[in-house]
Structure 1
Amino acid sequence: MSHEITWKSVHDERESLLEDLAGLSDAQWRAPSLCEDWSVQQVVAHLASSARTSKASAAKQMLTHKGNVQAVSDAGVARFSGGTPAETLEAFRESMHERVSPFSAEAALGEVVVHAEDIRRALDIEHTYPAETLRQLADHYKDAGLGMGAGDRIKGLHLMATDQKWETGKGDVVSGPIIALIMTMLGRTAYLDDLSGDGVETYRARLTR
């Protein structure tokens, strides 16, 4: 997928998430997401922050926080989550069409899709992603580094999507919707029950240890 098409996908997914967020209650904004210990509001704050973070600003923040990646992330969340949900939503809206990333357009696409799922799954919100977007991300994450651990989680397993043509690896089969494969590659255990196959128990053990 070309650079330009990928950025269009980033913007489309941000706009789709904005529509879902616009109708949330205060209780839903405070609800826990699937992302570590972050609430829905904190995940949106993270998206507002990361959408503004270029390679140069990321390097500067890393120097400020002495190379502590979690501290950099937490600072971004704090910047945009200290006010009301409406203020956080507005910060996210203002970042809709930014075109910067510390890594790549593909990384920015993964950021919005994965964190949107962290919110949607937690709040039982349905969303259909373009098939080509999910294939692109599945290919991206199966070899992901950057501390994501996806390669180690799926090593020796054969992941196979059941809702479109995509597969990777050799070994015992883990099959299911491609979004569930993506999210479990990134450690989200909530999607394990969506999967089946001889390799699921091995996969589950790796994600829950």
Structure 2
Amino acid sequence: HICGGVVGLLSGIAAMSFRKGSSRHRVAGNVFFFAMLTMASTAAYLGNLFGGASALYLVTTGWLTARRREGETTIFDWGALLFGLAVGVPIVTDGLRIASGSIPPKPGVPVGMILFLGSVVLVAAAGDLRMLVRGGGFGRQRIARHLWRMCFGLFIATGSFLAQRRVMAFLGGPKIMLLAPLPLLLMIFWLIRVRFKNAYERKSVTSGDVHALPT
């Protein structure tokens, strides 16, 4: 689990640093994807079922977005929608029950973080439904879908790595967790750039590869 988080963190940073469309960006993105699969599956095995499932869902759907052509959907996308709902609804339900005092809080996990994660998963599921109704992803919406899901996966990897007791002690204590939201800030930056930069106004290239678009 720790190894997956470390590799995911490093490869995720590399993918965001390399020029979009370059072979290095693709390689780093693929390494990040498989590292996150490892981290998510081991997290679920170790008892963090919904946290691992959330990471698995977001990163997988984000990665597949970059692998497909515009307007392309498959039966997998319907399955992903159902999976997202099956993960997000119980997380939000648990958060609300903890907030109301119906069940005891989870040790070391703030109720706000539980509600935040569940809400993000449900927003992603709503995005899946919107994409399916529209007949696939197109243009900037498709790029943004890939971008924010992969960045949120990097946020999960960062938090998982920094929250390890040995890592926290080695890096100077709990204050190191202040770095955990950094991927979310980078996500906001890139989403704004995708939304407003002229380079993203044109349509995706005919190959359908998100990574082939200019930065």
Same fold (TM over 0.5): no
TM-score normalised according to structure 1 size = 0.31
More strand by share: 1
TM-score normalised according to structure 2 size = 0.31
More helix by share: 2
